[in-house]
Amino acid sequence: MGVGDVSKRILLGRKLRSAQLGETLLPKRIALPVFASDALSSVAYAPDEIFIMLAIAGASQYIWSWKIGIAVAIVMAAVIASYRQTVHAYPSGGGDYEVATVNLGRTAGMTVASALLVDYVLTVAVSISSGANYASAAIPAFQDHEATIAVVLVLLLMAMNLRGIRESGTFFAIPTYLFMVAILGMCAFGLVQALGGSLPMAESAGLDIAPREGWEEPLTTFGLVVLLARAFSSGCAALTGVEAISNGVPAFKRPKSKNAATTLLMLGLIAITMMISVIVLAKQIGLKYVDPHELERLTMDGKPVPDGYDQHAVIAQIADAVFRDFSPGFYFVVTVTGIILVLAANTAFNGFPVLGSILAKDGLAPRALGARGDRLAYSNGIVFLALMAIVLIIAFDAETTKLIQLYIVGVFVSFNLSQLGMIRHWTRHLATERDAGERRRMIRSRTINAIGLSFTAVVLVVVLLTKFLAGAWITILAMTFFFIVMRGIKKHYDNVERELAADETDKALPTRVHAIVLVSKLHKPTLRALAFAKATRPNALEGVYVSVDQKDTVRLLEEWDERNTGIPLKVLHSPYREVVKPIVEYASAIRRANPRGVVAVYIPEYVVGRWWEQFLHNQTALRLKGRLLFTPGVMVISVPYQLRSSEIALEREEREEHRVHAGDLRRGRVVGDDRQTPR
Amino acid sequence: MGVGDVSKRILLGRKLRSAQLGETLLPKRIALPVFASDALSSVAYAPDEIFIMLAIAGASQYIWSWKIGIAVAIVMAAVIASYRQTVHAYPSGGGDYEVATVNLGRTAGMTVASALLVDYVLTVAVSISSGANYASAAIPAFQDHEATIAVVLVLLLMAMNLRGIRESGTFFAIPTYLFMVAILGMCAFGLVQALGGSLPMAESAGLDIAPREGWEEPLTTFGLVVLLARAFSSGCAALTGVEAISNGVPAFKRPKSKNAATTLLMLGLIAITMMISVIVLAKQIGLKYVDPHELERLTMDGKPVPDGYDQHAVIAQIADAVFRDFSPGFYFVVTVTGIILVLAANTAFNGFPVLGSILAKDGLAPRALGARGDRLAYSNGIVFLALMAIVLIIAFDAETTKLIQLYIVGVFVSFNLSQLGMIRHWTRHLATERDAGERRRMIRSRTINAIGLSFTAVVLVVVLLTKFLAGAWITILAMTFFFIVMRGIKKHYDNVERELAADETDKALPTRVHAIVLVSKLHKPTLRALAFAKATRPNALEGVYVSVDQKDTVRLLEEWDERNTGIPLKVLHSPYREVVKPIVEYASAIRRANPRGVVAVYIPEYVVGRWWEQFLHNQTALRLKGRLLFTPGVMVISVPYQLRSSEIALEREEREEHRVHAGDLRRGRVVGDDRQTPR
């Protein structure tokens, strides 16, 4: 087989490789669970936040709960309508970041990227903390150890993602659909009981809530507005995760945009139904719910509840009431809720590397993140995400309520910039579009995005006003940090590009090649390096040996003469056992003697397979190479000699190549098992 | 200047470099403190151990203290006499390891090496723990925080050694001589007071010691023997460190061996005088001293001492009594004792890399340890030593008494093997020596070594019997571990050597060189790589570009045509953004098409200077290189392009080269400041 054939086969590589790394496009029924777990799971903590905030002024304010639920639902509907426009306009999957960058410029794009990075960390922290809460509702022994459980869960997720999870549609579909069935089924059953008047009351129904100091009745109008604003902004936690589909359009079956838009609509309907049902039902069972830090405000017959009182999450309390006579129902609801929360956290582990690779492509993140399969960069991202989430979990003692304060800012920053970008997008296109029907559609889309923007802008202002001191400042600080880092990286890449830009003077060819082959012993690797060096026919060729021991030197010289390679051997003396310095000095000296020539330094390298063998070999070669790279006019040639054990490493490398990477599924990629396919 | 001149200058490199890295040979008055701190510092804890052990059967057994001191002194004298033979016979500084290896074979040498490695860790742990004890005697606020102080001290030492300490004779001389003055002065002053009957009693003199259960009076003869044996073996802690000089003979002024032997004698006399004086004086002031874990055995008027009682080290109690009316004297003694203990710990940090390089030369440790200035290997050694010491300190709560149980075994294992080796040495030489005078000297030396062996053998047996369960098993386990690791490394190197041995078939030259230059962009580094590749005149030359993005590819192809380099460009398609795999496959394909040829892969590399810039560049190149090394018939050529920021790294590298390395002084090396010398 000639080289021509080979290169043709590689040029047609797509066919060759499609057996190994294929595309699976997702039908809507699978795409929904793949992208919905994050958005749907927020029903497990968003209603809780509304009740907590209203409870500040006592349980009497719970009359507002369903109205706030409706307000959140309206915002959600507007946002979902907006994103339906986005998936049509930007089917490439760049999501908010792409929309902001294209329409509002680099700074807006970087702001959105910073917000998304922070959000991924918070998605993990919030979802897992909430999950730990549900776990402790189901298993009394876990009570008061929520932070520990959450940390363990994050570490488990990290380990699984480092290892590579072979995600499949089923992996997401079963728990997500079970969650829908569980919540909607529970709500339906509960509402039926309520209509029949047989709905049991919540455990906490008998309690009363003392208002926080300064919030006693009657509230001033201003006080009421503030109270409702806070409850509303906390409830907007329900919107987190709805943007996921806009990043995943390429993974949908054709017609991609249409299917994505339909799925988004379905997602919105389900999420809103769930949320409203949960809020209404919680009110029906007489639930009383306060900030877990202020349990002493819960009173029973005028006295504070005892110290050991454990306040379970809203869904857990509802399940407990609805399934009072059927405890498997309770455990089922709580278990699938916990699972969906963990799954939601996992989406962050998937989204993080995807975002990283997009940022890398634009020069905002280390370029290595852009290539698939850079294990190191990829692992670092996962570990970073997990550690930051753990820091937050420990700092906030796994209290969802507190973490939520940090969460919503980032989400709404990207919502806002994305809507604003979309308005710009339509305006720009309207400037050139002549077709009347098309123009009408565009104007309609722009109106939808404008409505979306006005809602999300109001929410962002409310969130900033009500949550800045409660923790949102941390998010803004973290976003600023990411922003500065990205700007720094971009600036560095730009500088380097300018410094490296080719000009006309870059045509001169070196006049001669002086090759030196490093000799430590006269063994196969050295002989191979000598042979390779000879094959390149340099203008000058010599072996170079650093002598640190008289006896060894004499022995080597004898062997060299015996071999009679026809290549001269230069001996450099190094009385202090230094190896690197004499060689670097010698190479520099050759170059100085002939500034238009190039020095080719051949380094024989052993290739070993086991990790510990690495420490036993090539350390000096590595150091030497690092040092020679700083010497102008020198090129460094590694001539590998594969020891038998290197096969172990080769096999490991190949296994590595076929590993599943987090986020592959939502990027529309799937790795097939090609170990059976002939190579 | 031609290349010939250059190489001559480098061949005469010693002269050139002697200004930079010179030798300073130590006169006896400096050599003594450099090598003595470890041995002398043991007087700060060895007497304490004797009193603790005797106290098991109550304070009445303290009558034995000075006799045990004498017994230890006799063993020390024998050991020192033995080592005086060693420094004459082995002036190369290989010490116990060399003696054992040469005379008893590889296994004995590896056993000694294991013992020494363990000892270095224990030297740090014991000295620093004892130092922390003295610190808490001087500063009441440190009381009960000894372990924390010790850990902090170890971390400080580690940081200093990683950074590189410019050791000088003065660095050792001042504290060591001050220590001698302090201890001997205190003892003299105390004995004068004792003779005059005005010696104050120790704080603890009024206490009584309840015997441990089963050790009540009257003791059986067997019981007494066991008691004395335990006290004696603990007291032998005083011998630790006397072997240091035998490792440092090359650092002495000529005549090296004679001077080393004299210094050893001085060391022995001073150490014995100090130890006996301290023991006698401790008895005179009526000191009562028990295992710090059994403070409840200390009684005052029949009642246990109160909970807060803090038992200070023996020297601290003596200083307190002797300088009762002159507290600066107390603080002076305690401070210099603390300093000398830290200095003793520092010798381990110096000795560890020296031993490592000797082991590396013999193939028992990673070879990189053998070359001077392998920062990574060297730093790893220091960090390893510090961490192991910290583990021990924490595990044993910085209690010197407990750590001593682990310490003595290792020391005496190497003493024994070393003496046995010396006996073999003389016997071997006697077999060929004919000169009568020389033979007499040899027989005398052998007798001295035989006496030394008989003493150290008895001590080893006693130590094993009395201390095995108390902790010596840990040492033996650790020694076994090091032994197995060294044997594994040796075996690996031997296997590799066999696999790499050159034979006659290794003469074939590759028939052709097919060069490919990796192109990511058409910038200066790529152009340089293309020029270098062209200069080597390969049989085939082409650029290779991995296409992951249609637009980028088109742009590059246009630029390529514009430049008109005359080199064809091959485009490899990679729909999934993989870069490494297509190139590796292409290289393998070329090689398969021409199995007797060699594929030269040119990789343009940016050389940047700041550590964080490393993450932003070359990550893919690095991964590619790692992968290509496993492909047979491929050589990998790094063509560096030095960015402006690389100068920062070059300067850092050069600073690094001139750094002081721990142990340089005792290897007779000193680094001069050559930044002023013209280059």
Q: Residue A656: which pLDDT band, with cuts at 50, 70 and 90?
A: low
Backbone angles phi, psi at B641, to 5 degrees: -125, 115
Which residue of chain A comes nearest to B569, CA vs CA? A7
User: Would you state the pLDDT for residue A667?
Assistant: 58
User: Would you state the pLDDT for residue B354?
Assistant: 78
Contacts of A569 (CB under 8 A, 6+ apart): A519, A542, A543, A544, A545, A556, A557, A560
User: Would you state the pLDDT for residue B80?
Assistant: 92
Contact B643/A617 with Cβ under 8 angstroms? no
Task: Flag whether pLDDT at B118 surpasses 90.
Answer: yes
Please give the distance of CA B496 from its chain centroid, rounded to a whole number.
27
User: Would you state the pLDDT for residue A405?
Assistant: 85
Contact B577 A534 (CB under 8 A): no
CA distance A85 to A423: 10
Compute the residue count for chain A. Answer: 679
Distance in Å, alpha carbon of B543 to nearest chain A alpha carbon: 13
CA distance A351 to A666: 9
Architecture of domain A30-213+225-491: Up-down Bundle (1.20)
**A222 CB-contact burial (10 Å; exposed 0-12 / middle 13-18 / buried 19+):** exposed
User: What percentage of chain B exceeds 90 in pLDDT?
Assistant: 35
Task: Flag whether pLDDT at A472 surpasses 90.
Answer: no
Looking at the DSSP bridge assignments, the partners of residue B670 are B22
Direct distance between the N- and C-terminal alpha carbons of chain B, in angstroms, rounded to an integer: 15
B 326-385 → A contacts, CB under 8 A: 357, 366-368, 370-374, 376-377
Judging contacts by C-beta atoms under 8 Å, the chain A residues touching residue B513 are 535-536
Task: Flag whether pLDDT at A508 surpasses 80.
Answer: no
Q: How is A13-53 classified by DSSP, letter by letter?
A: HHHHHHTTEEE-PBPHHHHHHHHHHHHHHGGGTHHHHHHHH
Q: Which of A125-129, A598-602, B1-5, B380-384 is least confident?
A: B1-5
B 479-518 → A contacts, CB under 8 A: 489, 492-493, 496-497, 499-502, 506-514
Mean pLDDT taken over chain B: 84
Place of tokens 């398609």: B573
Looking at the DSSP bridge assignments, the partners of residue B602 are B517, B637
Mean pLDDT taken over chain A: 84
Tell whether the torsion through CA atoms of A636, A639, A644 and A646 is positive or negative.
positive
Minimal Cβ distance to B527: which of A371, A506, A523:
A506
Distance in Å, alpha carbon of A355 to nearest chain B alpha carbon: 15
CA distance A406 to A469: 10
Q: Residue B159: which pLDDT band, with cuts at 50, 70 and 90?
A: confident
DSSP state for residue B201 in the 8-state scheme: P
CA distance B251 to B230: 37
User: What percentage of chain A exceeds 70 in pLDDT?
Assistant: 90
CA distance A431 to A422: 14
User: Would you state the pLDDT for residue B664?
Assistant: 63
CA distance B609 to A630: 10
Minimal Cβ distance to A13: which of B2, B510, B573:
B573
Contact A615 B639 (CB under 8 A): no
Which residue of chain A comes nearest to B600, CA vs CA? A637
Radius of gyration of chain B (CA): 32
Q: Which of A669-678, B267-276, B654-663 is least confident?
A: A669-678
A 18-57 → B contacts, CB under 8 A: 21
Q: How many CB atoms lie within 10 A of CB A394?
A: 14
CA distance A281 to A199: 10
Judging contacts by C-beta atoms under 8 Å, the chain A residues touching residue B492 are 613, 616
Contact B644 A499 (CB under 8 A): yes
Contact B630 A650 (CB under 8 A): yes
Query: In 3-state terms, what secondary structure has residue B160?
Result: helix
Q: Residue A657: which pLDDT band, with cuts at 50, 70 and 90?
A: low
Contact B1 A592 (CB under 8 A): yes
Minimal Cβ distance to B371: which of A374, A577, A639:
A577
Place of tokens 């304070």: B59
Q: Prior bond to A218 cis, omega within 30?
A: yes
Distance in Å, alpha carbon of A500 to nearest chain B alpha carbon: 5
Task: Give which of A336, A507, A417 is closest to A107, Cα–Cα.
Answer: A417
* CATH T-level topology, domain B512-658: Rossmann fold (3.40.50)
Contact B413/B479 with Cβ under 8 angstroms? yes
User: What percentage of chain B exceeds 70 in pLDDT?
Assistant: 90
Q: What is the mean pLDDT of residues A243-252?
A: 83
Backbone angles phi, psi at A513, to 5 degrees: -115, 120
Contact B509 A534 (CB under 8 A): yes
Which residue of chain B comes nearest to A633, CA vs CA? B640
Distance in Å, alpha carbon of A383 to nearest chain B alpha carbon: 16
* Preferred mutation among B18, B369, B374, B500 to probe A, highest tally of A CBs within 10 A: B500
CA distance A539 to B235: 70
B 619-658 → A contacts, CB under 8 A: 619-620, 623, 625, 627-632, 634-644, 646, 649-650, 653, 657
Contact A284/A199 with Cβ under 8 angstroms? yes
Instruction: Kindly list the domain boundaries of chain B, sorted by start residue.
Output: 30-213+225-491, 512-658
Query: In 3-state terms, what secondary structure has residue A73?
Result: helix
Query: In 3-state terms, what secondary structure has residue A302?
Result: coil
Token reading at B547: 């296409």
Q: What is the mean pLDDT of residues A201-212?
A: 85
CA distance A425 to A433: 12
CA distance B173 to B193: 29
User: Would you state the pLDDT for residue B377?
Assistant: 60
Q: How many CB atoms lie within 10 A of CB A346?
A: 24
User: Would you state the pLDDT for residue A504?
Assistant: 67
DSSP state for residue A213 in the 8-state scheme: T
CB pairs under 8 A between A and B: 292
Contact A14 B573 (CB under 8 A): yes
Place of tokens 């993990």: A124
State the pairing for strand pair A513-519/A598-607.
parallel
Q: Residue A12: which pLDDT band, with cuts at 50, 70 and 90?
A: very low
Q: Which residue has the higher pLDDT, B481 or B3?
A: B481
CA distance B215 to A378: 65
Please give the distance of CA B55 from its chain centroid, rounded to a whole number.
35
Task: Flag whether pLDDT at B6 surpasses 60.
Answer: no
Q: What is the mean pLDDT of residues B8-22?
A: 37
DSSP state for residue A501 in the 8-state scheme: B
Token reading at A438: 């098309």
State the pairing for strand pair A669-671/A21-23.
antiparallel
User: Would you state the pLDDT for residue A159?
Assistant: 86
Q: What is the mean pLDDT of residues B164-185?
A: 82
Contact B593 A1 (CB under 8 A): yes
The H or E element spanning position B669 is strand B669-671
Tell whether the torsion through CA atoms of B405, B411, B413 and B416 is positive or negative.
negative
Contact A408/A122 with Cβ under 8 angstroms? no
The residue type of A78 is: A
Contact B606 A638 (CB under 8 A): no
Biggest alpha carbon–alpha carbon distance for chain B: 105
State the pairing for strand pair B540-547/B513-519.
parallel
Q: How many CB atoms lie within 10 A of CB A551?
A: 7
Contact A13 B582 (CB under 8 A): yes
Q: From residue B423, give the alpha-carbon distance in Å to each of B100, B231, B257.
A: 11, 29, 19
* pLDDT tens-digit readout, B315-339: 999 999 999 888 899 999 999 999 9
Q: From residue A528, give the alpha-carbon distance in Å to each of A624, B177, B500.
A: 19, 58, 11
User: Helices A221-235 and A46-54: crossing angle, nearest 10°?
Assistant: 170
Q: Which residue has the higher pLDDT, B597 or A163?
A: B597
Radius of gyration of chain A (CA): 32
Token reading at B243: 């072997």
Contact B86/B378 with Cβ under 8 angstroms? no
Task: Give which of B624, B647, B649, B645 is closest to B634, Cα–Cα.
Answer: B624
CA distance B263 to B273: 15
Backbone angles phi, psi at A515, to 5 degrees: -100, 130
Minimal Cβ distance to A368: which of B17, B374, B619:
B619
Distance in Å, alpha carbon of A368 to nearest chain B alpha carbon: 6
* pLDDT tens-digit readout, A520-565: 888 888 888 998 898 888 999 999 998 887 888 899 999 888 888 8
Contact A636 B640 (CB under 8 A): yes
Q: Which of A75-79, A647-651, B463-467 is least confident?
A: A647-651
CA distance A42 to A37: 9
A585 touches chain B (CB under 8 A): yes
Q: Which residue has the higher pLDDT, A429 or A10?
A: A429
Contact B54/B67 with Cβ under 8 angstroms? no
